[in-house]
Chains A and B, each alone.
Chain A
Amino acid sequence: MGGGGTWLIRRIAAAAAIVFAVVSLTFVAIHLAPGSPFLPPPDRPLDTAVVARLNRQFGLDQPLRVQYVLYLKNLARGNLGYAFSRGQTVRSALATAIPDTLLLAGTALALDLGLGLILGIILAARARHATDLILSNVTLFIYSVPAFWLGLVLVFVFADWLHWFPAGFPTSPGLYESLPFLGQLGDRIHHLALPALTLGLVGAAGTARYQRAALLETLGREFVRTARAKGVSERRVILVHALRNSLLPLITLAGLSLPFLLTGSVLIESVFSWPGMGRMATDAVLARDHALVTAIAMVASAMVVTGSLVADVLYAAADPRIRERAS
Chain B
Amino acid sequence: MTARPTIALVGALVLAMGAVELLRLRARRTGSGGRFFAHRSAVWGVRILLFFTVAALLAPLVAPYDPAAQPGIVTLQNMPPSWAHPLGTDAYSSDIWSRLVYGGRVSLGIGLLATLVAMSVGVTIGAVAGYARGWIDAILMRLVDVGLAVPRIFMLLLAVAYWNRIPLSILVLLLGLTGWFTTSRLVRAEALSLRGRPFVDAARALGASPTRVLIRHLLPSALAPIIVSAVLSVGNVMLLEAGLSFLGFGVQPPTPSWGTMVADGQAQLALAPWTSFFPGLTIALVVMSWNAVGDALRDAFDPRPEHA
The answer to whether A146 touches B239 (Cβ under 8 A) is: yes
- Are A149 and B280 CB-contacts (below 8 A) given A22-B146, A140-B291, A304-B149? yes
The answer to whether B277 touches A300 (Cβ under 8 A) is: no
- Are A140 and B41 CB-contacts (below 8 A) given A30-B158, A267-B247? yes
- Are A285 and B149 CB-contacts (below 8 A) given A146-B280, A148-B262, A152-B262? no
> For B239, what are the chain A residues with a Cβ–Cβ distance below 8 Å?
144, 146
Name the residue on A nearest B295 (C-beta). Answer: A140
**Complex CA distance for A41 and B162, rounded to whole angstroms:** 12
Q: Does A26 contact B (CB under 8 A)?
A: yes
Q: Does B43 contact A (CB under 8 A)?
A: no
**Which residue, of B164, B266, B280, B306, has the highest number of chain A Cβ atoms within 10 A?**
B306
Picked from B40, B148, B262, the residue with its CB within 8 Å of the CB of A146 is: B262
Q: Nearest chain A CB to B49's CB is how many angstroms away?
A: 12
> For B269, what are the chain A residues with a Cβ–Cβ distance below 8 Å?
152, 155-156, 160
The answer to whether B161 touches A285 (Cβ under 8 A) is: yes
The answer to whether A220 touches B308 (Cβ under 8 A) is: no
Stretch at the interface among A48-56, A74-82, A100-108, A211-219: A211-219
Q: Does A296 contact B (CB under 8 A)?
A: yes
- Main DSSP-derived SS at the A contact region: helix
**Which residue, of A17, A19, A153, has the highest number of chain B Cβ atoms within 10 A?**
A153
Q: Does B157 contact A (CB under 8 A)?
A: yes
The answer to whether B161 touches A146 (Cβ under 8 A) is: no
**Complex CA distance for A229 and B288, rounded to whole angstroms:** 39
Picked from A141, A296, A305, the residue with its CB within 8 Å of the CB of B149 is: A305
> For A288, what are the chain B residues with a Cβ–Cβ distance below 8 Å?
161
The answer to whether B149 touches A19 (Cβ under 8 A) is: yes
Name the residue on B nearest A215 (C-beta). Answer: B306
- Are A216 and B308 CB-contacts (below 8 A) given A18-B145, A285-B158? yes
The answer to whether B146 touches A213 (Cβ under 8 A) is: no
**Complex CA distance for A155 and B142, rounded to whole angstroms:** 42
Q: What are 11 A-to-B residue pairs whose CB atoms are below 8 Å?
A: A14-B145, A17-B142, A22-B149, A22-B150, A35-B161, A127-B308, A146-B243, A148-B243, A263-B153, A267-B243, A282-B247
Q: Apart from A21-B146, A140-B292, what 19 extra A-B contacts exist at CB < 8 Å? A: A22-B149, A26-B150, A33-B161, A35-B161, A136-B308, A146-B242, A149-B284, A152-B262, A213-B307, A216-B308, A220-B305, A220-B306, A266-B151, A271-B266, A281-B154, A285-B157, A286-B161, A300-B151, A301-B150
